Amino acid sequence: MKLVDVMSAAGLSGYAIVAMVLFMAAFLMIVIRTFAPGSRPQHSAAAQLPFSDDASGPAPRARE
C-alpha cells in the first residue's frame, strides 16, 4: 500500500482547517500578551534601539 492510499483513506481533507484554528489561537495569545498592561516600559525602551548607535554623529547637511 502506498502512502497516497493511506492518506486518501484517512479522511484528512479537513485538517487544514484544524491547523488554521490552531494558528489563530496561537496568534490570539500573542495579541493578548502584546497588548496586556505592564509591557509599555519594555516596548518604549525597545523602540529607542535604532537611536542607540549614534556615536558617529549626524550626517553632513545637504547643500540646499
Partner 1 sequence: MSAHVDTFSYDDAIVRKFLWATFIWGLVGFLVGLLIALQLANPAFNLGLEWFSFGRLRPLHTNAVIFAFAGNAIFTGIYYSSQRLLKTRMFSDALSNFHFWGWQAIIVAAALTLPFGFTQAKEYAELEWPIDIAIAVVWVAFAVNFFGTLARRRERHIYVALWFYIASIVTVAILHIFNNLSLPVAPLKSYSIYAGVQDAFMQWWYGHNAVAFFLTTPFLGLMYYFMPKAADKPVFSYKLSILHFWTLVFLYIWAGPHHLHYTALPDWASTLGMLFSVMLWMPSWGGMVNGLLTLRGAWNKVAEDPILKFMVVAVTAYGMSTFEGPMLSVKTVSSLAHYTDWIIAHVHTGALGWNGFLTFGMIYWLAPRLFQAPLHSKKLAEMHFWIATFGILLYVAAIYSAGITQGLMWRAFDETGRLAYPDFVETVMKLMPMYWVRVAGGTLYITGMLIFGYNILMTWRARPATYEVPVISAPPLAPAHPEPAAPAGEGLWARFTAARFHRRWEGLPLTFTVLTALAVIVASLAEIIPTFLIKENVPTIASVKPYTPLELAGRDLYIREGCFNCHSQMVRPLRHETERWGEYSKPGESVYDHPFLWGSRRIGPDLAREGGKYPDLWHVRHFQDPRSVTQNSIMPTYTHLGRRTIDFAGIQGRVDAMAMLGVPYGDAVTRAPELAREQAQQIAAGIAAAGGPADLADKEVTALIAYLQRLGKDIRSAPATASAPAPAPGGAP
Give yes or no for residue 19 binding partner 1 (CB under 8 A). yes
Tell me: does residue 63 bind partner 1 (CB under 8 A). Answer: yes
Asked whether position 21 contacts partner 1 by CB under 8 A, the answer is: no
> 25-41 burial string, b = 16+ CB within 10 Å, else e?
eeeeeeeeeeeeeeeee
- Look up residue 35 and give its three cell numbers: 497588548
**Cell numbers linked to 28:** 490570539
Report the interface residues with partner 1, using CB under 8 A. Answer: 2-5, 7-8, 12-13, 15-17, 19-20, 23-24, 26-27, 30-39, 41-53, 55-56, 59-64
